[in-house]
């Protein structure tokens, strides 16, 4: 499928955020920990939740959908091997903990790297081993066995990985004894997942300095949980408002989850107003340059740098973005340069501190020289977040753009074309 977009319109009006993709998909996995039904409210109807639905169904879950609501119930584990999935994302490895707790074994597909880097899962595998799982790596799967269940352990993460932190939590909530995660990820989606698990009966203490302590319990029960709004969607709509010199009220956007972004936006000349319904975004003055470093929460998130870079192509001066989470997340700058932007990639740690990619030859920093007008071109979506670059840049470019491979965008943004049309965008979906 493709989008055609006519650029040049100011986007104005209100848009409602959906529940966070990166919380919803994990909460579906959390539901596998109990034989009782779980209800997820504010549930996003997107490609990635469909992929996880197939995974959960293979395992034995029964799913009933309502309006932005999912009832998910896994009374018995029917299958512990999920190699026949028709579509894949990075979630199946997180099912190992629930499968070990309820059936003593699991087999999930190995996922290679993708367009944003090699994305290894060594931290997940080492942590599961520390908790007592026997893990065998075959050509295309991870097989895990823990016939007598898992046992709590103290785990130091070399890097505050979101997925590894979640994997350990899933494995530890029903393990015997206490597990400590040092250097844990503390993204708002993880905190929301912890709240859901606590309401299911788990005992999870969030300590200071990225420490999470989990005391294993015998059993978890069902829960009704409302998923936090998607802060990545919020940032995308905020960048759209400022880039098109429009004015968008992003309903349910939460200041707490976005404070680093709000500061950066303000510094370059974007404006925002916190109101009861959410946050209103607009352009306050001519945009100016900035230096940004992405990092684990509460730093500037890696999933925000792509739409922000489009803004920086319209800002006066030289801006720098140093990406410290993924080694290869600037592929989309080729598209922007073809449209007329002036962006240079570098393998140096530009702008600030050295990161773990220093001197390893990865193009993980950029300099954006602006402002540069953009002209429409035909593009192919590389990955979910750079798909938003294709959309925002097309909306401010002169002419008509054709964007192919939009299924990637549908994985994370619900009905994005209809919501953008509601804000005045000229965007059409070609099937």
Sign of CA dihedral 274, 281, 389, 366: negative
Q: With 0-12 CB in 10 A as exposed, 13-18 as middle and 19+ as buried, what is 360? A: exposed
The site map against ligand EPU for 307-336 (x = CB under 6 A) is ------------------xx----------
Instruction: Please pick, from the candidates 107, 233, 252, 303, the single residue that binds ligand EPU as defined by CB under 6 A.
Output: 303
The site map against ligand EPU for 79-98 (x = CB under 6 A) is -----------x--------
In angstroms, the CA 153 to CA 168 distance is: 10
Q: With 0-12 CB in 10 A as exposed, 13-18 as middle and 19+ as buried, what is 351? A: middle
- Nearer Cβ to ligand EPU (43/326): 326
Instruction: Please pick, from the candidates 272, 385, 406, 414, the single residue that binds ligand EPU as defined by CB under 6 A.
Output: 385
Measured from the Cβ of residue 276, the count of other Cβ atoms closer than 10 Å reads 5
The DSSP-derived string for 126-172 is HHHHHTT-EEEE-SSEEEEE-TT--B--EEE-SS--HHHHHHHHHHH
Q: Does 214 bind ligand EPU (CB under 6 A)?
A: no
- Which tokens go with 396? 């401010």
Q: Does 207 bind ligand EPU (CB under 6 A)?
A: no
- Count residues binding ligand EPU (CB under 6 A): 24
Residue 420 DSSP one-character state: H
Establish whether 276 is a catalytic residue.
no
Query: By CB under 6 A, what part of segment 25-44 binds ligand EPU?
Result: 25
In angstroms, the CA 22 to CA 7 distance is: 30
In angstroms, the CA 377 to CA 364 distance is: 25
- Nearer Cβ to ligand EPU (18/314): 18
Instruction: Please pick, from the candidates 302, 346, 378, 421, the single residue that binds ligand EPU as defined by CB under 6 A.
Output: 302
In angstroms, the CA 248 to CA 392 distance is: 14
- Nearer Cβ to ligand EPU (187/247): 187
Query: By CB under 6 A, what part of segment 93-132 binds ligand EPU?
Result: 117, 119-124
The minimum distance between CB 197 and ligand EPU, in angstroms, equals 16
Q: Does 355 bind ligand EPU (CB under 6 A)?
A: no
Rounded to 10°, the helix 305-312/231-243 angle is 10
- Nearer Cβ to ligand EPU (162/262): 162
The window from 57-65, 104-112, 160-168, 240-248 that contacts ligand EPU (CB under 6 A) reads 160-168
In angstroms, the CA 5 to CA 425 distance is: 8
Tell me phi and psi for residue 129, to 5 degrees.
-65, -45
Query: By CB under 6 A, what part of segment 170-199 binds ligand EPU?
Result: 185, 187
298: cis peptide before it, omega within 30°? yes
Instruction: Please pick, from the candidates 250, 384, 395, 409, the single residue that binds ligand EPU as defined by CB under 6 A.
Output: 384
> Which one of the listed residues 48, 114, 328, 410 is annotated catalytic?
114
- Nearer Cβ to ligand EPU (59/121): 121
Q: Does 403 bind ligand EPU (CB under 6 A)?
A: no
* Catalytic residue annotation: 114
The residues of the shown chain that bind ligand EPU, judged by CB under 6 A, are 22, 25, 90, 117, 119-124, 159, 161-164, 185, 187, 302-303, 325-326, 384-385, 412
């Amino acid at each position: 499928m493709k989008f055609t977009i006519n650029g040049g319109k100011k986007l104005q009006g209100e848009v409602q955020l959906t529940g966070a993709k990166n919380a919803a998909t994990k909460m579906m996995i959390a539901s596998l920990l109990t034989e009782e039904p779980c209800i997820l409210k504010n549930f996003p109807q997107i490609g990635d939740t469909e992929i996880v639905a197939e995974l959960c169904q293979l395992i034995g879950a029964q799913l009933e959908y309502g309006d932005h609501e999912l009832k998910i119930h896994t009374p018995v584990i029917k299958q512990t091997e999920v190699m026949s999935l028709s579509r894949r994302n990075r979630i199946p490895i997180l099912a190992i903990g629930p499968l070990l707790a309820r059936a003593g074994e699991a087999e999930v597909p190995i996922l290679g790297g993708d367009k944003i880097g090699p994305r290894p899962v060594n931290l997940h595998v080492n942590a599961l081993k520390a908790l007592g799982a026997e893990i065998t790596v075959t050509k295309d799967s991870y097989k895990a066995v823990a016939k007598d269940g898992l046992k709590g352990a103290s785990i130091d993460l070399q890097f505050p990985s979101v997925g590894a932190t979640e994997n350990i939590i899933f494995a530890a909530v029903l393990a015997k004894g206490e597990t400590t995660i040092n250097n844990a990820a503390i993204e708002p989606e993880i905190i929301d997942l912890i709240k859901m698990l606590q309401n299911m009966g788990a005992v999870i203490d969030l300590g200071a300095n990225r420490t999470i302590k989990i005391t294993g319990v015998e059993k978890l029960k069902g829960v009704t949980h409302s998923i936090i709004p998607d802060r990545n969607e919020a940032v995308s709509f905020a960048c759209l408002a400022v880039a098109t010199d429009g004015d968008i009220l992003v309903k349910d956007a939460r200041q707490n989850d976005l404070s680093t972004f709000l500061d950066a936006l303000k510094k370059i000349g974007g404006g925002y107003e916190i109101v009861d319904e959410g946050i209103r975004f607009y352009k306050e003055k001519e945009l100016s340059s900035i230096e940004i470093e992405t990092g684990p929460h509460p730093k500037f998130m890696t999933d925000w740098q792509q739409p922000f870079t489009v803004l920086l192509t319209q800002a006066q001066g030289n801006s720098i973005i140093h990406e410290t989470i993924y080694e290869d997340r600037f592929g989309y700058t080729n598209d922007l340069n073809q449209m007329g932007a002036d962006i240079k990639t570098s393998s140096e740690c530009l702008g600030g501190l050295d990161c773990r990619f220093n001197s390893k030859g990865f193009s993980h920093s950029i300099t954006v020289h602006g402002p540069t007008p953009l002209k429409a071109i035909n593009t192919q979506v590389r990955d979910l977040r750079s798909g938003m670059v294709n959309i925002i840049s097309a909306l401010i470019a002169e002419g008509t753009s054709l964007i192919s491979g939009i299924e990637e965008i549908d994985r994370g943004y619900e009905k994005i074309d209809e919501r953008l049309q509601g804000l005045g965008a000229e965007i059409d979906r070609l099937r």
